[in-house]
Amino acid sequence: MNRFSLYILLVLIYLGISKSYTPHEVGTNFLEDEKLFSSFFPGAPVTVILQDSFEKGFLIKAYYQRYQVFDVFTGTENIVIRTSKKFWKKNLENQGMSLFSRRESDFSETLTPTIPGHIFIGDPSYGQWELGVNKQKFWTFHRPYRHFPQALYWGNFRPTEAIYKDIQNFAAQDLVYKGPHQEFGTKGLITQDLLRDYHGKLNKIQIKFWEHLKSFWNIPTVEGSSFL
C-alpha cells in the first residue's frame, strides 16, 4: 500500500468514526444562553429546573442539559435541550436549581439560578406564612399544592421569611442563590439526596474508544464459514 492509499484510508477511517459519533440530533432545540428561555417556555407560572448536564460526541462535541419543566397548569415535563458550551459550563454547579422562572401575577422573569419554585413563595394564591415553634414564619402551601415541595425537590426544606428576603435580594443583584447553607446546587446536600439518579452524570458520558472502534470494524461471519 503506497502513501497516498494509506492517507485515503486514514481519512475514511476518520470520517467514519466521526460520523458514528456525530452528536447532532434532529429536532433538538438549541439554547445559546438564558435569554432564550423566555421563547422556549411561554407559559406562567413556570419554573425550569436543571436536572443534569452531559456531553456527547467523540471527535465532535455537543452539550446538553436535561430539565424538569414545572408548569402549574400543564403539568411536569422532562426535556433535553442542546446548549452552547459556554452556557453548559456556566451551570455545571447549578444542578437541582431553577435556571428560569416566570411569575403568574405580573409575568416577571428570573434568569439567575436560584431555589426551584421560588416564584410560589410569598404568593397568597399558593400558600401562606405560618408561625413556627421558634417564632419564625415558615411558608406552607395550600392543600391543593401540598405536593409542590416534592415536585420541586425541596425535601424537608421549608423557606422562612428571612430566606424569602434573601431570594429577592440575590435576584435583584443577579446573584446565584443556593439557600442559606448552600443546600441546593450540584454540591448541595438536598440536591445530592433527591437527585442521586442524576448525580455523577454532570461531567460527561464516558465513551470507551477502543470498544467502539472494535465494534466499528467488526465483520459479521456465518458459523462454519472460513476466509481461508
Cα 188 to the chain's mean position, in Å?
A: 15
Residues in the chain predicted with pLDDT less than 50, given as ranges, are 19-27, 198-210, 213, 216-217, 219-228
**pLDDT, tens digit, for every residue of 100-117?**
999 998 999 999 999 999
Query: Domain residues of the chain, as ranges?
Result: 21-204
Q: Residue for cell digits 442524576?
A: 198
Residue 88: its pLDDT value, please? 97
CB count within 10 Å of CB 37 equals 20
Cα–Cα distance, 199 to 203 (Å, whole number): 10
Listed in sequence order, the residues at least 6 apart from 25 whose beta carbon sits closer than 8 Å to its beta carbon are 82
Residue 134: its pLDDT value, please? 82
Q: Is the pTM for the entire model greater than 0.85?
A: no
% pLDDT > 70, the chain: 73
**pLDDT, tens digit, for every residue of 114-164?**
999 999 999 999 999 999 888 899 999 999 999 999 999 898 899 999 999
Cα–Cα distance, 34 to 66 (Å, whole number): 14
Stated as kind and residue range, the H or E segment containing 87 is helix 85-90
